[in-house]
Structure 1
Amino acid sequence: MSVPTTTGPSRRTVLCGLAVALATPGALAACSSGGTPSGAAPAPAPAPGTTAPSATAAGGGTPVAQIPVGGGTIATVGDRSVLLVQPTAGQFKGFDATCPHQGTTVDPPENGVITCPNHFSQFDAATGAVRKGPADTGLTEVPVTVVDGTVQVS
């Protein structure tokens, strides 16, 4: 009795490749002729009232100019993400950028509200207090100071 043979990729191979392509936004861009030179998809523009992830100034910290009044930016401090906000002109605050519901990184505030993109919990941009669940606790405040025109996590 002979065993039938196949000449193309298995169903499993095709489905696994499709899963990888769908899970990796830049994967298909690398195959197209219009991709960026690195093969990665270009980064999206930041939403109004926000900035792109902050750059670190030479002495450490995030330049105050990168934190808009009424908005904020995500800064990487060591191995964690910190949301730096400026609720009113000259007032700077920091919050752990991790949503207490399921650990997703929250978005910078819009109109005084910080939103988690995963399940849409909402937090007050000035206090970090939860405004709307499913999160049942607010964002953890992180002490910050302004030194030489930069916001530094204390």
Structure 2
Amino acid sequence: MTAINRRRALSGTAAVAVGVPLLAACGGDSDTTATDPATSTSPEEGSASPSEDGAASGGGEALASAADVPVGGCFVVAASKIVVTQPTEGDFKAFTAVCTHQGCVVESSSDGDIPCPCHGSTFSLEDGSPLSGPASSPLAAVEIAVDGDAISLA
């Protein structure tokens, strides 16, 4: 068996050496919030991130078609980390898709809210406000434009 020294234990290679997987867990009831993608300094390569005014760099990025977004539900554009909602017929809104509790990406739904699969938070289709916790902060609004059936960043 390989000896475990401090450096290996801190780097995580000790877990590999002894065959024990490392697991991440929920932080509990802390007030930690996710990094806002609008202010992130290192967006994922190839993905658009909203700027301070809500538009992606380059602007006008196509997000979805109206048919993708159910009435009374939401559609997540994973590559852009944006969730598009349609609270009522023809009324489209968009928010960051990153949960304000611990940074998980919310899910698409037709159940009348924006659900986070990680810890059970739900958000309003109308304004991104939290409906149930542990999240206590709203999802940030993102400016979109609807032209016929096309939904894009404004």
TM > 0.5 fold call:
yes
Give the TM-score category using the shorter length.
Answer: 0.5 to 0.7
Residue matched to 1:15: 19
Residue matched to 2:105: 105
Q: TM-score, normalised by structure 1?
A: 0.58
What is the 5 A alignment of 1:16-95?
Answer: 19=21, 60-76=62-78, 80-95=80-95
Aligned partner of residue 108 in structure 1, secondary structure: coil
Cα contact 2:107–2:116 (8 A) shared by 1:
yes
Q: Which has the larger radius of gyration?
A: 1
d(CA) in 2 for partners of 1:66 and 1:98? 19
Cα contact 1:112–1:126 (8 A) shared by 2:
no
d(CA) in 1 for partners of 2:135 and 2:64? 28
d(CA) in 1 for partners of 2:130 and 2:116? 11
Cα gap change, 1:126/1:62 in structure 2, threshold over 3 Å: closer, same or farther?
same
> How large is the Cα RMSD of the aligned pairs?
2.6
Structure 2 counterpart of 1:139, one-letter code: L
Work out the percentage of aligned pairs sharing the same amino acid: 33
Give a deviation string over 1:109-134, Cα, whole Å, max 9, x none.
34212121111111111221111111
Residue matched to 1:149: 149
Unaligned runs of 5+ in 1: 1-11, 21-58
Cα contact 1:144–1:152 (8 A) shared by 2:
yes
Cα contact 2:71–2:110 (8 A) shared by 1:
no
| Runs of 4+ displaced beyond 4 Å | none
Q: TM-score, normalised by structure 2?
A: 0.58
After superposing the two structures, state which structure 1 stretch, 137-146 or 104-113, moved more: 104-113
Aligned partner of residue 74 in structure 1, secondary structure: strand
- State the aligned residue count: 103
Cα contact 2:62–2:153 (8 A) shared by 1:
no
Aligned partner of residue 19 in structure 2, secondary structure: helix
**CA deviation after TM superposition for structure 1 residue 85, in Å:** 1.1
d(CA) in 1 for partners of 2:109 and 2:148? 25
